[in-house]
Amino acid sequence: MLFVFALMAALWAVGALLKAPVRARLIMIGVLYLGVVLIQLTLPEGAALRRATGDSPAPWLLLGVLLFLVLGYRGLLRHLRARAAVPVPAPEPAADAPFRPAELDRYARHIMLRELGGAGQRRLKAARVLVIGAGGLGSPALLYLAAAGVGTLGVIDDDAVENSNLQRQIIHSDARIGMPKVFSAKAAVEALNPFVTLRPYRRRLTAEIAVDLFGDYDLILDGSDNFDTREIANRAAVAAGKPLISAAIAQWEGQIGVYHVAAGGPCLACVFPERPAPGLVPSCAEAGVVAPLPGILGAMMASEAVKVITGAGTPMIGRLAIHDALEAETRVIRTRPRPGCPVCTTARTIAPVALQGTDA
Got the DSSP string for 44-80?
Answer: PTT-HHHHHTTS-HHHHHHHHHHHHHHHHHHHHHHHH
What's the domain count of the chain? Answer: 2
CA 353 to chain centre: 32
- 37, 57, 148, 315 from 63: Cα distances, Å: 11, 10, 67, 81
**Positive/negative CA dihedral, 38, 43, 45, 49:** negative
Please indicate, yes or no, if residue 109 is contained in any of the structural domains: no
Please tell me the predicted confidence (pLDDT) of residue 185.
Answer: 97
| Residue 79 sits in the same domain as residue 121 | no
| Residue 50 sits in the same domain as residue 143 | no
The answer for 178, left when phi > 0, alpha when psi is -120 to 50, beta otherwise, is left
Closest CA to 60 of 43, 44, 41: 41
> What is the arrangement of strands in the sheet containing 152-156, beginning at the earlier edge strand?
197-201, 152-156, 128-132, 219-222, 244-250, 253-259, 319-324, 329-334
Please tell me the predicted confidence (pLDDT) of residue 195.
Answer: 96
| Residue 213 sits in the same domain as residue 293 | yes
Please indicate, yes or no, if residue 220 is contained in any of the structural domains: yes
Other C-beta atoms within 10 Å of 267: how many?
25
Closest CA to 40 of 26, 52, 27, 28: 52
- 227, 289, 328 from 283: Cα distances, Å: 10, 9, 22
| Residue 242 sits in the same domain as residue 317 | yes
Please indicate, yes or no, if residue 16 is contained in any of the structural domains: yes
| Residue 253 sits in the same domain as residue 183 | yes
Last residue of a domain, one of 83, 106, 140: 83
| Residue 72 sits in the same domain as residue 121 | no
Task: Please tell me whether residue 135 adopts helix, strand or coil conformation.
Answer: coil
Residues of the chain short of pLDDT 70, as ranges, are 1-5, 7-8, 11-12, 15, 22, 25, 40, 46, 49-51, 53, 55, 57, 60, 81-97, 279-283, 348-360
What is the C-alpha to C-alpha distance for residues 102 and 36, in angstroms, rounded to an integer? Answer: 63
Please tell me the predicted confidence (pLDDT) of residue 147.
Answer: 97
| Residue 126 sits in the same domain as residue 68 | no
The answer for 52, left when phi > 0, alpha when psi is -120 to 50, beta otherwise, is alpha
Helices (H) and strands (E) in the chain, counts: 14, 8
| Residue 201 sits in the same domain as residue 329 | yes
Count of residues in the chain: 360
Q: Which domain holds residue 42?
A: 2-83
Last residue of a domain, one of 30, 60, 83: 83
Please tell me the predicted confidence (pLDDT) of residue 109.
Answer: 94
Task: Please tell me whether residue 81 adopts helix, strand or coil conformation.
Answer: helix
